[in-house]
Amino acid sequence: MQKFIVKPGGKIRGTIRVPGDKSISHRVVMLGALAKGITQISGCLEAEDTLNTIAAFKAMGVSIKKNSQGQIIIHGVGMHGLQPPTEPLYIGNSGTTMRLMAGLMAGQKFSVEMGGDESLLQRPMIRVTKPLTTMGAKILLADNGTPPLIILGKQDLQGIEYNMPIASAQVKSCLLLAGMYASGKTCVVEPYPTRDHTERLLLGFGYLVNREDNKVCLKGGGQLYGKSIDIPADISSAAFFIVAACIAKNSEILLEHVGVNPTRTGVIDILQRMGANIKLYNQREVNGEPIADIRVRSSDLHGINITKEQVPLAIDEFPILFIAAACAEGETVLTGAEELRVKESDRIQVMADGLQKLGINAEPQADGIIIQGGKIRGGVINSHGDHRIAMSFAIAALRANGTINIEDCANVATSFPNFVNLAQHVGIKVKQLN
């Protein structure tokens, strides 16, 4: 079982580029596979989650290869060109892949089964299967609403208007992808804004999408066309180093070519409200996605209240934000984040348990957490196989007075395979033991 051993202290210095955005990488592979023509991808995240997405489409007859420049080349098969896989598709640890592909697979002329690792087999899927069933899909899943999913082919899908009870980019994207195969118009209404990579990419691949306020619509029967795409660095991965530079004394870091889509920058907004010294430079747009270089300097953080409206814009970054809260003066209160309990782990409970072991007063709530900033001590942390938990506690060691040992870290490779090397490069005293 892979472990991280992180010695206390240190300062953060350097200029780095973290790996490509995972959310965008998944979506580009999916849309490129269904497009007419060739899609050429630079900056694609090559981690376990995205490699499992690539493998799934290869299993359905799509040619996906890497060229000598390190680019991923996809020879699209068109909207109706996928072939039935000869065995169940293994999705690994990626909830994004399974939920988005549930929408795509619902529109195919063949049946498919999708499974994954132990963690994924415990993740709730009713949030996507229920509206898909309303569209006419036929999906079988375990009695408790978890994978494996068996999606029966040859169903005639009908467009619907779906008011999402909980803001979720994965549910929105799933229904829009299914809507491409449905008769009529499919609309999704969000209670709060969520990441909009799917809508931006659909437009980029030539599929008409209409967005008005919190409502997104498309009509079935359109086409996708291959294109060249440069994927920005993942702000969710950058967040670990942003917080690292904030909490470590005498620190400064520059993170290059980071995606700063306004539906993803909740982590920056929240940290700036806490007093973080974060500035964006060289702002530009590449393939419809806003990008910037981010400079971060040591900061005196203070506790704040984080409300439900802000949760979807920082949903993946809360574990590292909890570390920032532990290093801040005063109390940080998060509410409206019950979604965190059904991620790769129960991130509210697992983070609370870990912070308490390190001497921080952290009180889990049904939909959030209350964290009192304080002094961090060393200790042993069980990450429960959750990549973001493992990386977050590695960053916490910058402010600890003793070594932090983090167990069950193998899944860091699902999103950030070179995390340890980059962390060492900028000054974090972390070692990996296999």
| Structure tokens belonging to residue 185 | 């118009």
Judge if the upstream peptide bond of residue 148 is cis by omega within 30 degrees of 0: yes
Q: Compute the distance between CA of residue 351 and CA of residue 341 in angstroms, rounded to an integer.
A: 11
3-state secondary structure of 7: coil
Amino acid at 253: I
- Buried-exposed string 263-294: b where 16+ CB fall within 10 A, e elsewhere: ebbbbbbbbeebebbbeeeeeeeebebbbbbb
Residues in the chain, total: 434
Query: Where do runs of H (alpha helix) occur along 19-136?
Result: 22-34, 48-58, 95-106, 126-134
**What 8-state DSSP symbol labels residue 147?**
S
> How buried is residue 38: exposed, middle or buried, by Cβ count under 10 Å (0-12/13-18/19+)?
middle
Choose, from 49, 316, 386, 408, the residue flagged as catalytic.
Answer: 316
Say if CB 335 and CB 367 are below 8 A apart: yes
Contacts of 107 (CB under 8 A, 6+ apart): 157, 177, 178, 180, 181, 182
3-state secondary structure of 398: helix
Q: Compute the distance between CA of residue 101 and CA of residue 113 in angstroms, rounded to an integer.
A: 11
* Of 124, 175, 127, 166, the residue nearest 146 (C-alpha): 124
Is position 156 annotated as part of the catalytic site?
A: no
From residue 72, how far is each of 25, 48, 101, 338 by CA, in Å? Answer: 10, 15, 20, 36
3-state secondary structure of 409: coil
Q: Compute the distance between CA of residue 324 and CA of residue 124 in angstroms, rounded to an integer.
A: 29
* Of 80, 145, 147, the residue nearest 113 (C-alpha): 147
Q: Compute the distance between CA of residue 136 and CA of residue 159 in angstroms, rounded to an integer.
A: 9
306, β-bridge pairs? 334
Which residue numbers are catalytic? 316
